[in-house]
């Protein structure tokens, strides 16, 4: 990520005040992760679009890989406590023209997609991982 983009994100995070800069950077990384997981990397940029719901499940997977059992603590430190918060971050980035959306994308796409306490229950995740072949 170039220095100019980093500065724009820093400024955006400071202006908004609800979420730390790292939350915005994480959303960019999780978006790239999700695009790759969905096999859209080779598509032209305009065809790589993913839904808010897809992004949220990508965020779930990516955060488990990055932060493991500390995911909820990290998110809390960033000011993120529910799925809508990620939508707010995305739409802040869209407003600042640092990310794009389609006419079908709405903040409501990010509301109550999952509950953090359930989605990031590390005991359950570890049990699920043990069942994988």
Q: What is the domain count for the chain?
A: 1
- b/e map of 15-51 (b: 16 or more CB within 10 Å)? eeeebbeebbbbbbebbebbbeeeebeeeeeeebebe
For the entire predicted model, the pTM comes to 0.89
CA distance 122 to 120: 6
Alpha-helix residue ranges (DSSP H) falling in 19-113: 21-37, 52-67, 71-78, 83-95
The pLDDT tens digits for 60-116 are 999 999 999 999 999 999 999 999 999 999 999 999 999 999 999 999 999 999 999
Q: Look up the domain containing 15 and give its range.
A: 3-131
Rounded Cα distance, 15 and 13, in Å: 6
Give the pLDDT confidence of 41-70 residue by residue, as tens digits.
888 877 888 999 999 999 999 999 999 999
Residue 57, SS3 per DSSP: helix
């Amino acid at each position: 990520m170039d220095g100019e983009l980093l500065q724009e994100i820093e400024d955006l995070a400071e202006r908004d005040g609800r979420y730390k800069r790292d939350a915005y950077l994480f959303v960019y990384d999780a978006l790239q992760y999700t695009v790759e997981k969905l096999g859209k990397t080779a598509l032209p940029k305009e065809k790589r679009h993913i839904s808010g719901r897809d992004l949220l499940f990508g965020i779930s997977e990516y955060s488990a890989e990055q932060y493991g059992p500390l995911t909820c603590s990290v998110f809390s430190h960033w000011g993120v406590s529910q799925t809508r918060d990620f939508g707010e971050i995305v739409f802040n980035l869209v407003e600042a023209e640092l990310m794009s959306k389609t006419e079908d994308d709405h903040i409501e796409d990010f509301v109550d997609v999952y509950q953090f306490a359930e989605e990031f229950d590390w005991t359950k995740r570890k049990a699920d991982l043990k069942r994988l072949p």
